Structure 1
Amino acid sequence: MPATPPIPSSVLIIGSGVFGLSTAYALATNPKYKDTVITLVDRSSFPSRDSSSIDTSRIIRPDYADPAYAALADKAQELWRSSEWGADGRYTETGLCVTAGAGGTNYGINSLKNVLDMEAKKLSPNAKVTRKESRGFGRPLIEVLETEADLRRVLGTGGTNGVQGYVNWTSGWGDAEECMHYLNQKVASTQRVRRVRATVSRLDIDHSVSPKKVRGALLDDGRCLFADFTILATGAWTPALLDLRGIARSVAQTVSYITISDSETRALEKMPTPLNLETGLFVISPSANHIKLARHGHGYTNPTRIPHPELPLEEAYHNPITVSIPRTHLTDPPLPEHLPAEATAALRSLCTSLYPPGVAPHDKSFSPLPIAERPFAGTRMCYYTDRPHCDFLIDYHPEYDGSLFVATAGGGHGFKFMPVIGDIIVQCIEGQTPAEFQQKWQWPERRVPEEEEWNLDGSRGGPQGMILEEEYKKGGKAKL
């Protein structure tokens, strides 16, 4: 990559998730790129029904064990809280309750320290009160919860999801699908971005020059999209277009929904999101008369044999690689309509623990069943793209002479950065990656073999090493 990359005459962005759309908007509104032709290609019309960000809700929090991510998330959250980004119900601030077993976790301990440190800097110069206290809430901004009784008091459901932890009342959640629609409308309003609906089968790589260059993308309908500069922002599908073995992998996380009534929604809507760092299980406050149960865990891999994505086509099929890529209800073969029995049992256990029958809010006029005994109204897989330490991958690919930039590996936590991530990606493209992220986001010097332990960031819980197809083969559905 040149020290000062030139402004390209044309840019192709592959993928219209959070990273892709945010980058398109940042480029379209940046005067430096006023003469640049911007094309955005995605395999589905917007919104893609199996995109991880097209969902009822996403946690928005500054609660990170890493100070750099905590500070960036705090900056983004100020925009969610006080600007158009979170307006019209797109952002709701009900708090995040970080929990664990009696011994706690290093991630939880460090997250608490970081949010306390950041809030200490925001204290009124004339009074030792937090922002929420000064607005009349009458409670600490961040509460340490030492006992299970403390957790039950804060959650207010009659149940719990852990035995101790803390609650940060300034964390919240976003209506994910509405936020994506809002961002999509902002992109459209620039009238600068050409949209193409097509499936990218391969990058168009010129192997005749040294170093190699990416000229754009080859589509599965035979067309080519050419550009001076290509940005790959394809999330969990990135391992199908680049050889990311030992660099990043896609994993499936499990989600389910339970229908509740209007009165139950009112009773539960102010509950903070309880996230257990040891099990990974969490529940987000009700949205559209549904409770969302999910696991922020190590996930399931979906090993798939594919032609090598970066070799010339005549060589690619003779040199296949095995990578984990998504399997959804839109793929071939499609994902089964139910979750693996292991996941169903885990989410059902969470529901029973948090909403114990006979204790949790219950509207008899709506359903004869307590919340914990109701069937799932829907299930899905949410795909993460993980690196060994859960850092984003936002950098030039070193083998393509400045013609290919990669923005991926959201690791399940990219959504909350929506208000700021596009501008930062453009900074990185211009060679101005923030100092605190230079080493974290750069293309790695070595690949970490899959058989080595990927420590991730310490925020994941639950079982490890699960393979999607093997879990489905273990037996029938558990009780929904």
Structure 2
Amino acid sequence: MAEPFTPPSSILIVGSGVFGLSTAYALTRRPEWAQTAITVLDRSSGGEFPAKDSSSIDSSRIVRADYADRAYAHLAAVAQDEWRKPGADSWGGEGRYAETGFVICADAGPEVRPDGMRTGLGFAKSAYVNALELAEKEGLPEGSVVELRGREAIKQASGTGAPFGDWGYLNKRSGWANAEKSMKFLYDRVVAAGRVKFVAAAVERLEIQGKRVTGAKLQNGTSLSAELVMVAAGAWTPSLVDLRGQAVATGQVIAYTDISDEEQARLANVPVLMNMTNSNFMITPSNNVVKIGRHAYGYQNPKTVSTALVVPKNEKDSVFPEIVVSQPYTHVDDAKLWVPAEGERDLRQGLRSMVPWPELKDRPWTHSRICWYTDTATGDFVITYHPHWEGLFIATGGSGHGFKFLPVLGDKIADTIEKHCPAEFQDKWSWKEVTDIEKAIVTEDGSRGGKVGLLLMDELRKNGSRL
């Protein structure tokens, strides 16, 4: 029988994004953690939490239970119950959440590839089955989830007159949330708890004594120590802990364009739109801005680093050897950073296909962004104790779909810290056995499109005019 869990005297949470900040909040609400000193550390230079180039700091994120995987679908449904609650003190209050619906579609073709993996159509068909099951479970009226057979049905459901797929469905119970405002809401709640110390500093590397992780050495030369260290640094996590074979940082393209008051009024209540085959999506426009994104295989940015804690093969081996890691490169690194021409072309095509209005066809982008995912091969999160290093807990691998779980994820992570990982996620969130750490991680859950193996710096060096 497992020994009862005793909370540590102190916990250092590296990262204040969705995983880190939600965990800090969950711990402040657990009486058994009342004597634990909780510190949240982030690399923010201006004192903002999360850092301003964190993937969760953005205008909008899709909130949906439309998953091909049943476990995630059911957990997302629980999160949605929280998003829907009214009032300023609720997650979705004060306009943070809007349930405008979600049209998820795909192009015609096979549902399964020759290698047995789902296609975009296969993902959409499986998500439809789970959406129907949830609708029945919740006793929703008929018509809450509507199958869209053919391009004309998709055109009518889109709200924009866009036949942007061959088969799909409309889930009226999905929507979107203002990500940045939601993170600010969570941060304010954590601060109000009066239990958490926030430290704005960049981590150079983790510190160890023998096989135990004892804290973090900061780039300013100081150190922070704790009995338990949790690394939840998003796409920066693989630069601190060797995650080769587990997770990799990938950059995804997003672009924005301004619209008039009249155009905003026409688009204010259209559903979130996504084609699973080409991976383009549009979240319901707000504040006179249209946002187009691509949920793709993404760009990698491989760099040689000696900051990631590696399990040594032999006693004399360094625990911080030089390894190659894909690292984020954001507008904080380069204020003039613009998405590569390859990605911009896809985003332009996405805008034209989802909002086929002549006046928007060539509307210039006002700005663009590279959003950094922490991808795993299956799209599952990595939420577990490290199998080798004592005192080290990992919470990462959001794979571009973690934000929607914000109201419930912290408690699930806290449960897992307490060694009560939800049964349906024990395998999914576990540390995987890796036979080839050099093998490229490609997320093959059926939700991705685009090209595999794109390198960010190569694409940025290529010439190409903005479309």
Which of 80, 91, 94 is equivalent to 2:97? 91
Q: Deviations over 1:210-264 (max 9, x none)?
A: xx00111100001000111111110100011011111110100000001011221
Q: Measured at CA, do residues 98 and 414 of structure 1 come closer, stay the same or move farther in structure 2, by a change above 3 Å? A: same
Deviation at 1:317, TM superposition (A): 10
Paired residue type of 2:234: G
Counterparts of residues 356-395 of structure 1 (less than 5 Å): 356-358=356-358, 370-395=359-384
8 A contact 2:12–2:226 mirrored in 1: yes
Deviation at 1:478, TM superposition (A): 3.1
Deviation at 1:475, TM superposition (A): 1.5
CA distance, structure 1, for counterparts of residue 128 and residue 8 of structure 2: 43
Task: Name the SS of the counterpart of 2:270 in structure 1.
Answer: coil
Q: Deviations over 1:407-429 (max 9, x none)?
A: 00111111000000111111001
Q: Measured at CA, do residues 308 and 189 of structure 1 come closer, stay the same or move farther in structure 2, by a change above 3 Å? A: closer
Q: Structure 2: where are the runs of 5+ without partners?
A: 112-120
Deviation at 1:173, TM superposition (A): 0.2
Task: Name the SS of the counterpart of 1:225 in structure 2.
Answer: strand
Q: Deviations over 1:175-229 (max 9, x none)?
A: 000000000001001000011110011001113xxxx001111000010001111
Paired residue type of 2:385: Y
Match of 1:240 in 2: 239
CA distance, structure 2, for counterparts of residue 75 and residue 341 of structure 1: 39
Q: Measured at CA, do residues 190 and 93 of structure 1 come closer, stay the same or move farther in structure 2, by a change above 3 Å? A: same
CA distance, structure 1, for counterparts of residue 294 and residue 328 of structure 2: 17
Which of 385, 392, 404 is equivalent to 1:404? 392
Match of 2:133 in 1: 117
Task: Name the SS of the counterpart of 1:319 in structure 2.
Answer: coil
TM-score (structure 2 length as normaliser): 0.92
Deviation at 1:98, TM superposition (A): 0.7
Task: Name the SS of the counterpart of 2:238 in structure 1.
Answer: helix
Paired residue type of 1:204: E
CA distance, structure 2, for counterparts of residue 111 and residue 179 of structure 1: 26
8 A contact 1:308–1:317 mirrored in 2: no
8 A contact 1:11–1:231 mirrored in 2: yes
| Residues 1:144 and 2:147 are matched in the alignment | yes
Q: Deviations over 1:83-104 (max 9, x none)?
A: 5111110000011111111236
Q: Measured at CA, do residues 356 and 276 of structure 1 come closer, stay the same or move farther in structure 2, by a change above 3 Å? A: same
Paired residue type of 2:295: H
Give the stretch that moved more between structures: 307-316 or 465-474: 307-316
CA distance, structure 1, for counterparts of residue 222 and residue 99 of structure 2: 46
Task: Name the SS of the counterpart of 2:21 in structure 1.
Answer: helix
Match of 1:264 in 2: 263
Match of 2:24 in 1: 24
Identical residues among aligned pairs (%): 43
Counterparts of residues 31-430 of structure 1 (less than 5 Å): 31-44=31-44, 45-47=47-49, 48-83=51-86, 84-103=90-109, 105-123=121-139, 130-131=140-141, 140-207=143-210, 212-307=211-306, 309-310=308-309, 319-331=321-333, 334=334, 336-358=336-358, 370-401=359-390, 403-430=391-418
Deviation at 1:81, TM superposition (A): 0.8
| Residues 1:460 and 2:448 are matched in the alignment | yes
Deviation at 1:312, TM superposition (A): 11
Match of 2:118 in 1: none
CA distance, structure 1, for counterparts of residue 63 and residue 392 of structure 2: 30
Paired residue type of 1:381: I
Count of aligned positions? 448
Paired residue type of 1:234: A
Paired residue type of 2:457: E
Q: Deviations over 1:254-299 (max 9, x none)?
A: 0000101122111111111111111000011112110000001110
Q: Measured at CA, do residues 416 and 448 of structure 1 come closer, stay the same or move farther in structure 2, by a change above 3 Å? A: farther
Deviation at 1:450, TM superposition (A): 4.7
Task: Name the SS of the counterpart of 2:398 in structure 1.
Answer: coil
Deviation at 1:163, TM superposition (A): 2.4
8 A contact 1:310–1:316 mirrored in 2: no
Task: Name the SS of the counterpart of 2:395 in structure 1.
Answer: strand
Q: Deviations over 1:395-450 (max 9, x none)?
A: 0001122x111100111111000000111111001110011000010111225545
CA RMSD across the alignment: 2.0
Deviation at 1:316, TM superposition (A): 5.6
Task: Name the SS of the counterpart of 2:214 in structure 1.
Answer: strand
8 A contact 1:201–1:219 mirrored in 2: yes
